[in-house]
Structure 1
Amino acid sequence: MAGNQSIMFNGGLPADCTCPICEQALREPMLLNCEHHYCKQCFEKEDRAPECALCQTIIQPELCKQDRAKHKQILSLPVVCTFESSGCQWSGQLGTLHDHLTECTFKSSLKCEKCGRQFAKADLDRHREKCELNRAMCSYCNKTIRDSDLERHLKTCPEVIISCPFQCGLSDRPRHEIEAHRPQCPNVDNVCPFVPYGCTFAGGKESIQQHLSDEPVRHLMYLCDEITDLKGTYELMERDMVSFNDRQSRILSAADTCTEMFGPQLIWKIDKLQQRTNEAKSGADTTIFSNPFMSHRFGYKMMACACLFGDGTSAGKSISLYVLLLKGEFDPTLEWPFNRTIKISLLDQNPRPEDRVNITYVIDPRKLKANEKFLARPRGERNAAFGSQSFCSLAILQNYVKDDTIYVRIDVDRCETLPVSLKTRDEKERKQMMDSIRLKTPNVRAIHQVRPVTGQSQAPSGDLRV
């Protein structure tokens, strides 16, 4: 592939071409006995888990083989040049990216010191002359103005020295003084109305009328010059708008990147809900698991799980939602025990976003009792699960089902939970608070939105699960 260069896939990297271990494009893909794929390097790691990271099937190395068809599929994926941000417009298949990079003229691009944009070395000097951030200082008002706007600024600068256009004798004054003088100028009615556009004729009313009749071409030229100036101003504004749109696109792109980086770590789609609930009710499959996810880049490896018919004392009454820590590649570099606040949310699928009311349960790791088996660095493949045994009643859950599907979102704080003095409410206080909430808010869905943040966010021992 492209060696150590970053690869940018046009349209994103398909899930079936992504290694679940390194989360990168499959390199020398190995087909497992469960039909999933690993990179060859990830497959051959000594500390690799014995079961598949996606389906938990035990991996049988003797049944695994290199998948040449998958390798060809990956090499045919559409990509853009690694130096697209520097201005390169190349796009093609992944298999041809390496050949392009060897001759890409943007590979040795340089950065403009003023705007920070990347340019090929041959184009940088030309850009520096026209860089939109080039600045000059007005010698009259001492304001810093863009080079391209300086000429336009001088036509309106209030400190530029000019004379009265009505030729009354007032001269060599700043423009703001002349503008204040013009309405009271004694010659205001004795000059050609085209004086603001360059005409210098002055005289009585009759002579002005004669002057206008004798010089129509000259006055038309004055108007043409003004229109030309306006056209130049419009072109500058249009160019500024293009530049603005370009900057806006870059900002929006950066915002999208931030959303991807700092949005929820997992949105879990649980489909075939009725079938899965019946399987849980019968005892055939009481717990379902999400795909593994990371708390942040190079962070904690985690997984969510759900008991759709309830767990323990909540069986048949409530849905139970949990999270758990998995053994991860970067565990040696992380802080233990795990101390990030986690929010588990059941998402409202109301088509009107302003009417959506999610149910959210907050897990504060500082409040977990006997947290060693939940929050310590995993010694085996995974720790015990922790979360809410009674997340919401099965009756209320139906309000969040659409097309036999629910969505669960997991948010993990990227900063550690700071140690603070905590006050735990007793059962009586919690009951009083919930009663007051019910009186103020009869909507049961709204009550459940705030319920976990009060008492249940404490995650008592009854909500812990092995």
Structure 2
Amino acid sequence: MDSPLNIPVYEESMLSIRSPTLSSKLRLMKSAGKRTIDGEIKWKSGVLDRKYECPSCNGYLRFPIQFEDCGHFVCSGCLPDILRYSQIECQNGCGIKFEKRFFERHNVEDCPKRSITCEFCQTTILHEEEILHLNVCTEFRVPCPNHCTQQDIPRGQMQNHLDNECLKQELSCPFADCGCEFKAERMLITKHIKESPGIHLNMTGKTISIQKKLLQVHDERMQEQKKWIELLAKKANASEKSCGSQLIWKIDSYQEKLMEAKSGKKPTIFSPPFLTSRHGYKLACSACLYGDGKAKGKYLSLFICVCRGEYDSLLVWPFSHRVKLSLLDQCEDPDNCRHINYFVKPNICKENKPFLGRPIGERNASFGAQKFTDLETLSTLDYIKDNTIYIKVEIDNEDMIII
């Protein structure tokens, strides 16, 4: 063995390493050009000074490297082993610390949080969740619960196996809805059907008879509900027509009603009553198709009258809101329609109380336009179409108090 005295150690040739981690960087302190004054190997009582002893191999330092964090020196040849035995923490987050030399084995075999592939469904999962996954994996092979010949069935196909394939699956008779209570394994059900055609036919006939009676009852109830729906629709339609600030009055069979007015049989006709709002004034429109008074035989006369309503005690009297009466042109082109309009602004005075005051009887006296439009104009354009005319009444509710 070579004498330590023949192996010089150069303090000025030592390398420096900052930390014992894998990312440590080596730094050459100074080039080893020559010995320093204190470069001689130090011995104490025939023993090598511990300053020059490698803590890894316990021999004298050979091409020493210094760890800057702690100041210790090691042989450059010992450094790889030291790094291999240094502690590192699992990169998968399992919290386990181990020597670097075991990294590959831990990452491949030991780490509970390592990624693995399910051999059945090929899904990537964590190793620690493998058991939980296998309990729900649709491709994991499980035996038939009925212990039939098929014992290696993917979990996701088990229900289909039980419903359509398993010979030991207990089934109800296909005529169960008709009253048959027989239950048996699949192979016996077929035998039961072949042996009991008369019984099943009788059950089926009774079931059809019962269903027919139930169908008749349901049909009767449906007809009743249909009548109720139609009635409610009519009421809703009537409510919509009667509640609002306007009325569109359709007067059909115009020529016949005009002849009745001309003969004096029925000189005046009235519209359905309507409300100016849900709880507003109750009004009605009247028309003298052959004219009224001095306008008779020459003009169409239109009037408005205030009727007695449910909410009169809550309203402001006398009635003072402007009324617009219109004869609608039924031209197919809306841009060319020429409606005939007439505005009535109630004059609030003592003399007009019978017209505008709170009604005492069913309705007040009518007010409006005695000479609304002459009968010759009425027969032009499209005011009369399909023997029908339309009268529109609008109430100005801008200053009206809505209850």
Larger Rg: 2
More strand per residue: 1 or 2?
2
Higher helix fraction (1 or 2): 1
TM-score (norm 1): 0.34
TM-score (norm 2): 0.39
